[in-house]
Amino acid sequence: MIPIARPYIGNEEIESVVKVMKSGMIACGGVVKEFEEKFASFNEVSYGVATTSGTTAIETALKASGINVGDKVLTTAFSFIASNNPIIKIGARPVFCDIDKDTFNISPDDIEKKLNEHKDIKALLIVHLYGQSCDMRSIMRLVKEFDLILIEDCCQSHGARFEGKIVGSFGHAGCYSFYPTKNMTTGEGGMVVCNDEKIYQQAKMYINHGMKKRYYHEGIGFNYRMTNIAAAIGLNQLDRLDDMNNKRKENAKYYDENIENENVLIPFKDKDCDHVYHQYTLKIKNGKRDEFVSYLNENEIGSGIYYPLSIPEQECYKEMGFKKDYKNIDVVKDEVVSIPVHPALLKEDLEKIVKVINAF
């Protein structure tokens, strides 16, 4: 089976983990600090705060930016549920938007519509889905006009850019995941990045029981600290990130140039975006998506449906009364399927995948 995702772990990662283990300083310490500084610099911002996951990074970013119980947060209805659950967890209230049917990202037109319908929206949480930036020109115009707090979920878009500017540097805070399927990994882990010193200080306290001075708790916080072990992996992965992203882009280019099937649409690439292909997501037309997935499976090609339901349709939100129908999501969720695009793919894997798809 050609897997849909595979982390690339080299000897450098293994050796630096062993070094941390031998040092005895395995919890949060100097290696985490170095990773935070290097990741912030990569992200062209002033500060980084490492966390235990992308989910806790989003929760931390929301709290550190001043989102509280009862605040309304506008967000996309089409993402991994972890982009939304932190809003619920802190007692804020999501208001969902539809997506653009080509890019799969939150629709600026729907953002504007919802902002005019709900005059009390405090923040906007966007997700740069599958590795491609949202339309930041339209979004930044709305953020300024409506004076919103902007949080960017960059969990699928390490290194992606819009008109040359790196994602995670547009808003008040950017949030990353380093889960093993992501463009870079630390095993489990996450990061909040920002330029605002106050948000940075708040985030640092929130992930460490609300303390600056040991055992003096200025605010409510938790233990969301990254370990030195995870950060050691992250430092090596960060060194490889450009190469790994370039390999993803090359794989995507190969698919773009070679997939030919009337039932299969290749991903739309926005000319203003530097897409880092966390996923290479096809649209399968004429109601054939599920048949296509079984066919790939029979041919030992892994695939993934990201996502079969909109967020508000999920069972866990049943009692919350969210609007469940979204014009574009309702079409797209039955068409999308992602195929392997990760950097560990071999030339023969790519050739096989194209041959199988073209024969569907």
Ligand X SMILES: Cc1ncc(COP(=O)(O)O)c(C=O)c1O
The site for ligand X (CB under 6 A) is made up of: 53-55, 79-80, 82-83, 127, 153, 155-156, 177, 179, 190
Q: Least distance (Å) from ligand X to the CB of residue 175? A: 7
Residues in the chain, total: 360
Q: How many CA atoms lie within 13 A of 195 on its CB side?
A: 10
Residue whose CB is less far from ligand X, 190 or 234: 190
Contact 155, 176 (CB under 8 A): yes
Residue whose CB is less far from ligand X, 53 or 310: 53
Q: Least distance (Å) from ligand X to the CB of residue 283? A: 19
Instruction: Return the ∠ at Cα 231 (arms to 227 and 234), rounded to 5°.
Output: 145
Residue whose CB is less far from ligand X, 150 or 264: 150
Contact 252, 277 (CB under 8 A): yes
- Sort residue 221 into left (φ over 0), alpha (ψ -120 to 50) or beta: beta
Task: Please tell me the distance from the alpha carbon of residue 20 to that of residue 93, in angstroms, as a whole number.
Answer: 41
Q: Least distance (Å) from ligand X to the CB of residue 65? A: 17
Q: Least distance (Å) from ligand X to the CB of residue 28? A: 17
Residue whose CB is less far from ligand X, 172 or 254: 172
Give me the catalytic one of 63, 114, 122, 182. 182
Q: Least distance (Å) from ligand X to the CB of residue 285? A: 25
Nearest to 343 by CA among 274, 271, 276, 287: 276
Residue whose CB is less far from ligand X, 86 or 354: 86
Q: Least distance (Å) from ligand X to the CB of residue 317? A: 16
Q: Least distance (Å) from ligand X to the CB of residue 76? A: 9
Active site residue 182: yes
Instruction: Report the DSSP beta bridge partners of residue 208.
Output: 223
Residue whose CB is less far from ligand X, 107 or 177: 177
The neighbour count for residue 144, using CB atoms within 10 Å, is 10
Residue nearest to ligand X (CB): 54
Residue whose CB is less far from ligand X, 233 or 357: 233
The catalytic residues are 182
